[in-house]
Amino acid sequence: MRVPKLKAIRAMFLVALMTAALSSHAAAQSPASDPEVQAQIDLFSAWLEGQIEIRGLPGIVVGVVSGDELLWAKGFGHADIEADRPMETDTRFRMASHSKLFTATAIMQLREQGRIRLDDPVSDYLPWFTFQGAAPDDPPLTIEHLLTHSSGLPREAGPHWSDLDFPTAEEIRELMPDRQAPFSPEVRWKYSNLAYTIAGMVVEEVSGMSWAEYLQANIFDPLGMTASSVDVPDAMMATGYGNRMPDGSRQVFPFVDARGMAAATGLTSTVE
């Protein structure tokens, strides 16, 4: 047990060392022009390239950020092994649950505009929204409950992580009445992709736009996030790989459209 812990400590130390060096020189000059910083970058890069070789990792992109500035970024290994496509800083990745940050941002934008309140019942905006409550005296489920994982809703809408067949928005509306909440609202914290899916549907209902359209117009475009999108196949997308098997092989995963659950897990972006 000690060896993995030592490796983890060593990795964190190298990252911290490089980050400190980059951050301390960020305001003064370009990091690449400073010998001390470049030495830390070289040390970290050599270590990471060694990890890729030893562990048989497909590839990785690393970025160091100070404040709002990306100080340094570099790709290591491959974005696609079979195609011999190298990992680059502009390689696209599925961001999975980081998508929830954008859903929460969208909700807060609408709140600031006075178009919703966090303590409003979800059913005020989605009249079809109903489910099997944990107790007959449960209070109404609110938008805040969705964002804080305190809704008590089940984690998923169905077996889509196994069969990779994510439900459409219409299918989610149809299945909700049969979904059983294991807990009442505010009883305990329970992570829920389904809750954030519903939050995204609130955004769509209030804004009159699809979740992808809302993000493009209100977050991506204003921030200049030109490499970000929602569930769009991209030639620059990194290939997904599974766990390393005893023979060194890894399962290759296809591109999967999150469909109606995009607000919980459908974002694509880059380190830049």
Q: Which residues are catalytic?
A: 97
Q: How far is CA 252 from CA 15, 81, 228, in A?
A: 29, 10, 23
CA angle 41, 43, 44 (to 5 degrees): 65
φ/ψ of residue 120, rounded to 5: -75, 140
User: For residues 239 and 78, what is the distance between their CA atoms, to the nearest angstrom?
Assistant: 9
Q: Are 131 and 175 in contact (CB under 8 A)?
A: no
What type of residue sits at position 269? S
Residue of 252, 223, 148 whose CA lies nearest to 192:
148
Cα–Cα–Cα angle for 131, 189, 9, rounded to 5 degrees? 140
- Environment class of 127 (CB within 10 Å of its CB; exposed 0-12, middle 13-18, buried 19+): exposed
229 token code pair = 């999108």
The answer to whether 25 touches 34, Cβ cutoff 8 Å, is yes
